[in-house]
Structure 1
Amino acid sequence: MVGSPTADDSTGVVVRRPGEGAATWAMGSLFEHLVGAEETDGLLGVSLVTQPPGIATPLHRHTHEAEAFLVLEGHVSYRAGDETYELDDGCFIWLPRSVPHAFRIRGTSPARFVAFTAPGGLMGLYDEVGIPARERRLPGADGLAPEEELPRWGEVGPRYGLEVVGPGIPE
């Protein structure tokens, strides 16, 4: 774990400063835990995510939680249901539970966004599939090779309500 959280056990308040808290390398990306289900009585999970250009997911859904994303930097093509949205700096998208969705990071620069899940707990999936980040950067060659990581999504994902339902967004 890189850094450590600041928490007030008497009030439940959690403060994360840059570089504090757990971080995971998965999908060639950096997932920084801002607040987790264990700190919110299961109500919410929030992560700061950095993903390189070209990263894409298959069309999938989450049966346990809703998701929302606030794009801080970069360009993301986001399919939700039958519509595809082009999201840039400052754009926000809300995905109710079980809505099929997929995304692709476009352009030549990484995308950074804040990811919210309600209830919390989905970050456990990334933690189980990925590896602890040694630094706050994209993993590059230090992360798991795709051929090693991809089978783990199929093994671990169903326990978290992850269901792949179709192909991703084309290049």
Structure 2
Amino acid sequence: MRARRTAVSVKGGQLEGGISPPQEGGEWHILGHTYWNRAWCESTFAFETLDPPGTFVPPHVHPTQDEFIAILEGELEVELDGQRHKALAGSLVKMPRGVPHGYFNTTQEPTRCLFWVSPAGRLKELFDQLHEMTDTDEVVRVSAEHDVEFLPAPEP
């Protein structure tokens, strides 16, 4: 039996079955990270990331989405509700809606992860708008318009 290949899986807002080939389905470059669309529909959005050494996503909140990170290769330092944790390859990070979280690649090696959020909300639309954007203030502003609230930087 031959598997059906599909990268973007939406049919009437419902997840459509199939196989998403590696790194197919759309690619975004956002502040040093590479993201690949793995699946998208109303109920969920899954994306793969390549996070080079030294890259990070600062603490932020998704007020209406639960988010997960499956660490495929490497490791991340994850901040959950103000507490730092190390997530190694094979770990699953669970970030409930409304809980501040961020992640940091503090190693000398790239990290590869599979993220997914539920419901999808406007996150894919946000990635479309942030692609190749370099102004961090603009990233924060546009993110807020898409239900992602970055927290103020800590005082020095």
CA shift, 1:18, in A, is 1.5
CA distance 1:162–1:90, shift in 2 (3 Å): same
**Residues 32-51 of structure 1 aligned to structure 2 (within 5 Å):** 32-37=36-41, 42-51=42-51
Please tell me whether the aligned partners of residues 27 and 35 of structure 2 are also in contact (alpha carbons under 8 angstroms): yes
CA shift, 1:8, in A, is 9.1
For residue 33 of structure 2, what is the aligned residue in structure 1?
Answer: 29
Code of the residue aligned with 1:87 in structure 2: it is A
For residue 82 of structure 1, what is the aligned residue in structure 2?
Answer: 82
Provide the identity percentage.
Answer: 19
Code of the residue aligned with 1:123 in structure 2: it is K
**Residues 1-171 of structure 1 aligned to structure 2 (within 5 Å):** 5=7, 12-37=16-41, 42-120=42-120, 121-131=122-132, 148-167=134-153
| Higher RCO (CA-CA < 8 Å; seq separation 6+) | 1
CA distance 1:7–1:119, shift in 2 (3 Å): closer
CA shift, 1:15, in A, is 2.2
TM-score norm. by structure 2 comes to 0.83
CA shift, 1:74, in A, is 1.2
Corresponding pairs, count: 146
Code of the residue aligned with 1:116 in structure 2: it is W
TM-score norm. by structure 1 comes to 0.76
Instruction: Give 3-state SS (helix, strand or coil) of 2:126's partner.
Output: helix
Instruction: Give 3-state SS (helix, strand or coil) of 1:58's partner.
Output: strand
> C-alpha deviations, 1:95-134, integer Å up to 9, x for none?
1101011211021111100001000141221221114xxx
Code of the residue aligned with 1:124 in structure 2: it is E
Please tell me whether the aligned partners of residues 78 and 84 of structure 1 are also in contact (alpha carbons under 8 angstroms): yes
Q: What is the RMSD of the two structures over their aligned residues, measured on CA atoms? A: 2.3
Please tell me whether the aligned partners of residues 73 and 113 of structure 2 are also in contact (alpha carbons under 8 angstroms): yes
Point out the more displaced range, 151-160 or 65-74.
151-160
| Structure holding more helix per residue | 1
